[in-house]
A and B are shown apart, each in its own frame.
Chain A
Amino acid sequence: MTVPALSIRALVKRFGETTAVAGVDLDIPAGSFYGVVGPNGAGKTTMLSMATGLLEPDHGTVSVLGVDLWGHPAQAKPLLGVLPDGLHTFDRLTGAELISYAARLRGLDRETVRARRDDLLAALDLAEAGSTLVMDYSAGMTKKIGLACALVHAPRVLVLDEPFEAVDPVSAGAIRRILAAFVAGGGTVIMSSHVMALVERLCDHVAIVGDGRILASGPLAHVSGGSDLERRFVELVGDVQDQRDLTWLQRS
């Protein structure tokens, strides 16, 4: 049996009296394009933060290609490329400098960094913006430069939290092509998203998260059960209970 790209066991995280992640078990097959979906506040970001070394779990283990992330971070973290959501970055660097920074942190030599930095800036349509401070970037450009930082050391597993959020359609197409090529080359992409159509289009596996638990997981066709993913998602997490009309919004 092949080693999962990411293996999560009994993962728990509490914030005061709130349980954000309540005992998650999940295996993500190597070479898959894995979608993680769930309603707002379901615990997706908390789970992915613990799965990438950003947030210490209260309980449980995370393995990256068989390496215990929290036990052996020096061996596990180089295997990961991470794009968190909602976190800013060192925005007083230019885009080019930020990619170089991420690459040098990963220990790459100068010439490799120079070549990869220029490749990534071109591939993500950021060549012109490479000399601009990241603080002047739009939200979409910031996502793209974050993705470049996650890719620069050629990781084996990419964990991307909402990678397409605020990205324009042209850039989204470029990102899709890059990620598809990455998976075709044997890499694994784990992507959280709220856009079901995007997950259905890109992913071959999916996990639906709700209330800090995995409600369903596996191959896309298996999870969606012959229906479309959005309908299945609503069935599992439940629809909005009080669907009242905001009549006061209508013009008289």
Chain B
Amino acid sequence: MVAAVLGIRFRTAAHLLRREWWRALLTGFGVLWVVMMLPSLVWIRAALATQDAQIRGDGLVAIAALAGLGWVVVPLVVASLDDTLDPARFRIVGVPARAILPGLLVAALLTLPAVFFALAFAVIGSVWADEGWAVQAVAYAGLAATLLCMIVGARVTALWGTRLLASRRAKLVTAATMLVGLAIGAVIARSLFIEGLSGLVETDLDTLLAQLALTPLGAGAAVGRSAAYGDWWGAAWRLGLQAGWALLLIGAWHANIARALVRPLSRGSGARRRQDRVLDAPPTLAAPTDAPAAAVHARLRRAWLSDPRYLASLAGVLLLPASFFILVVPVFDLDGRWAYAVPLMLAASVGWGRHNDVAFDSTGLWLDVVSGRLGSAVMRGRMSATVAWGLPVTVLVALATVAWTGRWEDAGSLLGTTVGVLGVSLGIAAVFAVATPYRTPAPGQNPFGAEVGSVGAGLAAQLVSSAVAMVVLPVVVAPFVLGLVVDPRWGWGAAVAGLAVGGAAYLGGVTLAGVLYDKRAGRLLAAVA
């Protein structure tokens, strides 16, 4: 069965590569990136090898813990898990979960990220070579168990996340996750702001790493150090903890697969809605007035409230600005004014996040296309639905940031610039959503999954759209920065320029996107469905 499952995985990839040659190019870039990372791995290994066993162990624990968190978080944020072997696809075959699990596990171990991390652990983990073969062997065993936990953990988290987002509690779960994340972030930020990074490293890092080494996040990586100290009992129980955690995760994965085989996600739990919220949508300032655009706006507002894929995007856009405020500002002991980057990053993140917005409607796009030459209405409706929540949120965050710094004299320029960044990034995103759409999970499918190869296509579109944003956004942000560091009078210019350029870019982008939409209407469906 392992061979059969792997066969499906690799044959699918081969068929896609034959059909669309550029996927091979992107895969090639991925392999090239892995090769280019090799010197860095060797450098990290060399740096650790010169340290004593304590620091070597700490380094490995820190790397393993960060990588472990990354494996859990990244698939949820960038929808990057290859969904060729989505357990739900095996429903029609009628095989039990235990029959396909080994194949899925081996396939998960053979993905490019898994191979890269295996290589990384093999190189960096060899720092114990001078302690004798026995120490090196158990160190590798610990790292292997750690890697297994990462890979299986990512699958389990994505499946659980999918189930939660598909449930009727999706909104509650999203809000709760964001609140818990912000609460944890607030605690970290408070410590960092009070003690600074150096203070925290001196007082708390040792403790943190020691504690991590007692958990599944770092126990496996600490096995080598225990063995190097001759603490074989400590090495044994850490290895046991890591292996036990891996087994637990595999058990959870098995349970999730078994559920996915008999419980489709795409059902709406029998929810009923008496009020027609397309025809009698609650009024908002952002809603267009003409019937087609208003209908698209109303539909997209429903999507933002109920579609797991949009809810996942909503949570994802907050990650970068929140991380900046919680980690970067205190760690680098930056001037309070650096916090102004938070609303600006949030505005850019909200806007740029819509660069593949049209593809989210891959299954229903036909209705928009057959209903007329509606490119302008569709794009105005789509983007205004983002503005309906994005504008108030970014303005509120900008005001909160000003309140935090206490520099109310910067409020006007920050607000104008924030609105400008949102307008520019939404305008750019609107154009790219029509010009370079790439496939996303369809409604009802795993919102964290991605068709094999589409991750690369997505990355290419993301790179180009973000490069354009990087070029255009400084036009809006530069007057604001000049107002902060050169002459406060620039601030007024920033406020006016932000509103004017942002408004113009939004209108221009959405208009251009509408024209492109009409030109590409006969190709869009094939591009995203």
Contact = CB atoms under 8 A, between A and B. Distances in A.
A171 interface: no
Contact of A101 (B299, B521, B522, B526): B299
Contacts of A53: 369-370, 521-522
Interface of A is mostly: mixed
B39 interface: no
- Looking at A57, A80, A106, which has the most chain B CB atoms within 10 Å of its CB? A106
Interface in A61-87: 70, 73-74, 77-78, 80, 82, 84, 87
A54 interface: yes
A127 B313 CA distance: 34
Contacts of B523: 56
A149 interface: yes
Nearest to B373: A74
Contact of B526 (A55, A96, A106): A55
Contacts of A77: 370-373
Contacts, number: 145
Interface of A: 16, 50, 52-57, 70, 73-74, 77-78, 80, 82, 84, 87-94, 96-98, 100-102, 104-110, 113-114, 117, 131-133, 135-136, 149
A52 B295 contact: no
13 contacts: A50-B522, A54-B522, A77-B373, A80-B370, A82-B366, A88-B442, A97-B273, A105-B372, A105-B374, A108-B291, A113-B279, A117-B276, A136-B269
B268 A133 contact: yes
A54 B369 contact: yes
Interface residues of B, number: 50
Given A53-B369, A108-B291, A149-B367, A93 B299 contact: yes
Contacts of A80: 370
B226 to A, nearest CB: 52
A80 B307 CA distance: 30
Contacts of B19: 16
Contacts of B41: none
Contact of B529 (A82, A87, A100, A104): A87
A97 B270 contact: no
B522 A56 contact: yes
Interface of B: 19, 266-274, 276-280, 290-292, 294-296, 298-299, 302-303, 306-307, 361, 363-364, 366-374, 377, 442-444, 518, 521-523, 525-526, 529
A37 to B, nearest CB: 22
Contacts of A109: 291
Contacts of B361: 90
A56 to B, nearest CB: 3
A97 B278 contact: yes
A107 B291 contact: yes
A89 B373 contact: no
A106 B372 contact: yes
B263 to A, nearest CB: 14
B420 to A, nearest CB: 32
Contact of A105 (B276, B295, B363): B295
A102 B294 CA distance: 12
Nearest to A108: B291
B302 A92 contact: yes
B366 A84 contact: yes
B292 A104 contact: yes
Contacts of B529: 87
A181 B279 CA distance: 28
Among A52, A80, A82, A107: residue with most chain B CB under 10 A: A107
A100 B276 contact: yes
Contacts of A87: 363-364, 366, 529
B302 A93 contact: yes
B312 to A, nearest CB: 15
A88 B443 contact: yes
Contacts of A56: 521-523
B519 to A, nearest CB: 10
A74 B354 CA distance: 27
B367 A90 contact: yes
B369 A104 contact: no
B366 A104 contact: no
